[in-house]
Structure 1
């Protein structure tokens, strides 16, 4: 029992653990410094200090003196303790400190392997894992071993609590049964936590993928912008060289003309000086007959001659070239709006349930073709009756753009509309109400315009490219149309306050128009990867 007595002497009476930085009060009792500090702090309010061990009072807060001897004993005890986790020793080993392998709740003692073999095997001797504080395994009221679990009060109790205590009549379970149930619940919690961890890992991986994709897209955009501005700088340099060369040529031509005019004027000046001198001589003649005869000779008959071209010449160096260059630069600045700061072109798919029965939709939902053959689709409220169709994708925020092939249609309209647009009647046509905006092309008449609320604005520019681009900035309330050529040309921008989601919309007559995907070859309009060439040819012939 020597080891047990030693441990008892090294335990703080407040925390019941081995001393940590032990200090001594005036009464001689020892405590951990942090433990006695907490006790004294609680006594500060009443200014009445006492030892928690013997209740000895102090007139003022006692000074804590470090117990060096006890501190060294505790340090030596820790040093001599085996480091394999066996900090609990056998209660019956007298000569040496042997690590305990079990604790007997009935005997309130810990046992090493040697004493465990000779220990009583009676049922009341309950063995457990080694424990320093065996009191925790006993009922605080009856001082008996805790053997049962009260499910109503969720607490461990002894047999006396079951029979005569406050838990009498409650539903009881053995500790093993209650422990297994608790473990089952813990396993369920662990399973849920495992699932949440897996979901979290999937989200983390998804976000990492998005971060990587964002980095790749950002790098691609940086390259595109770098190339764009590199081309822009080269184009400006060529424009500068051309403009300066043209101005230099015009300057040279004007200077040459000016030199010729100056030379002619100098010659005229000399001739006039000669005539002036002759006239002065005649004015000084005394003989009237000589004066009259000199005038009659006709030498001075050109005094009233008409003004020559040099008298009306006004130098106008290079103004036409400068004006042309300034106008070109203005066009460039205006068309800088062509830089689209969005991730990717939108992949627009057409909504078959909205297509007019005289509009044929391709199997990949990207081509709308006019046909004389009624498609006999179901009559639903969403279907147009005016050669129109809208997209299945809607936009209610952000910036987006998409390209459309329009060259294969005699007349077309492309733009956007609200889902609430009329599906029949005059106000259902794109641009003819406040719910739609469009670019209109009549290639037969070579006439192009933009339309909104029935107001038609003719474009001064004739579209010659096969493609147009639509750019939408929902928050800014801007819808812009561009002609896809080199360089791209801005056609028109609508400004509005959008109040509903927006759909891409098409109108086609005598021909077909197509939503372009980014990966498609612009020179291979008929190349559709989803369907074979034979199927495409049959479909197109059927539309005719």
Structure 2
């Protein structure tokens, strides 16, 4: 419909359907006038033929003919409006208005110098500068048109099917529609004006945004609280570590002092013994020198009878000791070794205390783990409570779903973890072979699965009853003081840590460190082959005591 203006007293020349000046006006039997195309499209989309104004119904669709009188009157009004617009345009200086610049919306009516549009009309689908906007601000018919800030591509605001403005919003189909859509494709739908829909959507978006802001503010507080807790924990660890290392240092210093005292005491004993030997030897030397003097005196006599008799008495030697087997021996051998062994025993006791405390700490993160039957290899037998798994030596007829392992005798836990810390314990008593650990959710389920962090699993295993190995890159052979009967598995997702513990001995078996987790982690279990009953004992997920 052409956009034209009329004087304020000519409202009767406006079509009540398109709210614009008549184009090809037709009169119905009830006396109301409409644009021919408007009333035709309205009836095409409606079940009944009736007047949109007075609702008078017609049994048959009226034969519509253009009312030439009204048509001529409309033409006169159009010419009058154009003359008025031209007069207004010539009287106003275009220099007082801004000339259209790149990136701005131009006036669609300006023919020579394009001025910047001040408003766009959603009814006329035209953008107007200040001069050409005047009729929309002064003429009653055009005053009803909806004006918005200037926008480009106004044709995108027209219904492609009915060539009518998109003035409504269908909540049912969540799309913008025109008036005619409401009596056709969107009949009986929940339809509201665009402004109402906009206000509703705006309020909903604002609510959503505020909720998102609140959630993030809460997350900030949560993170700050976590940092505070982490600092408190760090301070406790520093203090505890200081106590432990101070105790170890003092123990080492005491051991060193005891070692020095022991060596000095032994040296003092040796020196005292040597002094006693020397005094005794000096005494004997003195006696022997005295005898030597007596012999010397006898040799000066000429009386040989007396001399021989005297020699006979001198033959009896003074009392002396046999010094042949007497010696001073160093007794320091093994002193240092014994001191170090004693220190090692002290350190071992302190280490055991630390590991016991560490195990109690990680046990705080215990989670309830159950086995997922959808992932279990067909050879495996799972208990009804999902806490035990063993190898049954017989392949069950199970659906080969994507989650199920096809070649490896293993099963995953139902629970997955993508953040934080978690811990669980597994009884391995009576088994000669097993695999334990965690695996990422995207681990290959079909075919052979190499046990390595490179393939998305962090595990340790037992083979041949006494061979323990951590399947790291490369694998690490483990030397354990005792055979674990119950194994604890601890994971710190953010820290990239997977640790295994001998629960009964409160000893650390092995730790994977510096891991990079980007996927969900699942507990991983493999009871391994039954081995003709030698390895028939089940793996049992145990409650934390």
**TM-score between both structures, scaled by the size of structure 2:** 0.50
Between structures 1 and 2, the one with greater strand share: 1
